[in-house]
Amino acid sequence: LAHRLAELKEAGEMRPQHVSMAKRNNVRTARDQSRIAREMLGGNGITADYSPMRHMTNMETVYTYEGTHDIHTLILGEDLTGIPAYQ
């Protein structure tokens, strides 16, 4: 997805909806991976000795920051259907 977005940008064809899709996907993937990293360490994953918990809380913040995930979903939905879900 990131590679395709770079191609679109270089060709001058990138749209804001493409950026929304990439942001939404990348944050979701990073959040999932930080959870897996924390789980791999078991009880140690929540201590300050290891960084997965710090990354996981950071990704949770980015995921929900002012409804970012939901806003990107609405932008993509409007692009696909042509019907705005907000005004």
13 phi, psi to nearest 5 deg: -110, 5
Residues 6+ positions from 12 with CB-CB distance below 8 Å:
none
Pick the catalytic residue from 7, 39, 66, 78: 66
Using only C-alpha atoms, the chain has a radius of gyration, in whole angstroms, of 16
Kindly state the tokens that stand for 78.
Answer: 């409007």
**Token pair for 79:** 């692009």
Catalytic residue check, 66: yes
Residue numbers annotated as active site:
66
